[in-house]
Amino acid sequence: MTRRDIYCPGVSDRLVEGCHLRIRSALGEAVEERLIPRNHAEECKLPQSARREKQVLTREELQRFLTQAQEEGYYELVLLELATGLRRGEILALKWSDLNPKTGELRVERQVYRTGGKLTVAPPKTKTSKRSLLIPKTLLDLLNETRSRAASEWMFPSPVKPDSPLYPASVRKRIQTILDHAGCRKLRFHDLRHTFATLSLEAGMDVKTLSAIIGHNSVSTTLNVYTHVTDTMRTQAAAAIDRAITGSTAPTPIPEPEKPSEPFRPYKGLRRRAGTGCITRVSENCYEGKYTPRLPNGTRYIKTVYAASREECEAKLAEMIEKAKPEVERMKREMREGMETSKTVTL
């Protein structure tokens, strides 16, 4: 019997646990103030929580997912998540100052979450969640290149408010869209963390190291969460010991490789990537390309180009955007400095 079976289908295990915790805490305070003789909630044991099956991307799904993420402008975020296994709130709270551009050391010092309709930045979930990681050189080079073009202190800023990180809900929705376009199963963002942990264990990473990387309180937590993976590892270890002791020639059981499929072509869709402008057909032989980034004061910087065909307009628009970006970044910096100065004078 699980908590869901005992209470009602519409009540989650987490809600039941939260209610029990609050009632026990309230009754505990009542006991301390001698309002009641004892805390009966301490005698109430919760039923076993129903384990949710961990969803993990297969290697083939992983390639399609990364390809589609690159098409939709989320490649850096997704790749960093799959290389570190950070929680959603942790990865969105990263600042460029948290990354050492030479060594690849990445410090996790905060998390973001939405409460009361506002975005809140707070310390990590637990003491062990505050940690340092080392990211691969290929990913470090990619992030350093992105950093050279960045105009915000946040690693993944909001496209509407550059001085604020991305909203967790918007990231969740975009990940679902990318998964759908890539033909992958419907997963949670947290399942990308499970994918990282599973691939790490399968690659031979020891559980203690993994536990430190993903910020678990103890190794037992990691073992409990990834039992399905460690079972496979134990089977392979047993086979290796058998060969060493008995001289058995039986091969170590390994998963069968996935059958190769046709090359994946990313879904283009009608939505253009952020920062690439838009193209409108004005007449039969006239196309207008427009680049309109929003500035910190709420106004828009507007530049337009015209061409006789869509292909020509795309080329002109891309060239114009590359030339306009330095000026836009300069204007943004000057506006932010002016806004900060005015706040200081007001205070």
Comparing CA positions, the residue from 62, 58, 64 lying closest to residue 262 is: 64
Q: State the amino acid at position 344 in one-letter form.
A: T
CA distances, 192 to each of 4, 59, 80, 87, 199 (Å): 26, 12, 10, 9, 11
104 and 212 both lie in a single domain: yes
69 and 211 both lie in a single domain: yes
Q: Is residue 258 part of a domain?
A: no
Angle, helices 227-246 vs 190-202, to 10°: value is: 0
113 and 218 both lie in a single domain: yes
231 and 331 both lie in a single domain: no
- Residue bearing tokens 């180009």: 305
Neighbours of 268 (CB within 10 A): 10
Q: Is residue 263 part of a domain?
A: no
The number of distinct structural domains making up the chain is: 3
> Which spans in 48-166 are helix H?
59-71, 75-84, 88-92, 137-149
pTM of the full predicted structure? 0.66
314 and 204 both lie in a single domain: no
Give pLDDT < 70 ranges for the chain.
1-10, 47-53, 228, 230-234, 248-261, 269-272, 343-347
Cα 60 from Cα 213, distance rounded (Å)? 25
132 and 230 both lie in a single domain: yes
Q: Is residue 262 part of a domain?
A: no
Q: Is residue 107 part of a domain?
A: yes
Q: Is residue 67 part of a domain?
A: yes
Cα 128 from Cα 126, distance rounded (Å)? 5
- Residue bearing tokens 């350093």: 144
Cβ 296 vs Cβ 163: under 8 Å: yes
- Residue bearing tokens 């790490």: 200
74 and 202 both lie in a single domain: yes
181 and 304 both lie in a single domain: no
pLDDT of res. 252? 54
What residues contact 234, with CB distance under 8 A and at least 6 apart? none
Q: Is residue 151 part of a domain?
A: yes
283 and 195 both lie in a single domain: no
Q: Is residue 160 part of a domain?
A: yes
Q: Is residue 137 part of a domain?
A: yes
Cα 83 from Cα 70, distance rounded (Å)? 15
Domain that holds residue 19: 3-43
pLDDT of res. 65? 95
What are the φ/ψ torsions at residue 272 (nearest 5 degrees)? -85, 155
Cβ 249 vs Cβ 242: under 8 Å: no
107 and 204 both lie in a single domain: yes
Cα 127 from Cα 267, distance rounded (Å)? 41
- Two structure tokens written together for 342: 């005015």
322 and 195 both lie in a single domain: no
CA atoms within 13 A on the CB side of 187: 24
45-68 exposure pattern, b = at least 16 Cβ within 10 A, e = fewer: eeeeeeeeebebbeeebbebbbbb
175 and 227 both lie in a single domain: yes
Q: Is 345 strand, coil or helix? A: helix
Render pLDDT for 175-207 as a digit per residue (tens, 0 to 9): 998 999 898 988 999 999 999 998 888 888 888
Comparing CA positions, the residue from 99, 108, 120, 100 lying closest to residue 165 is: 120
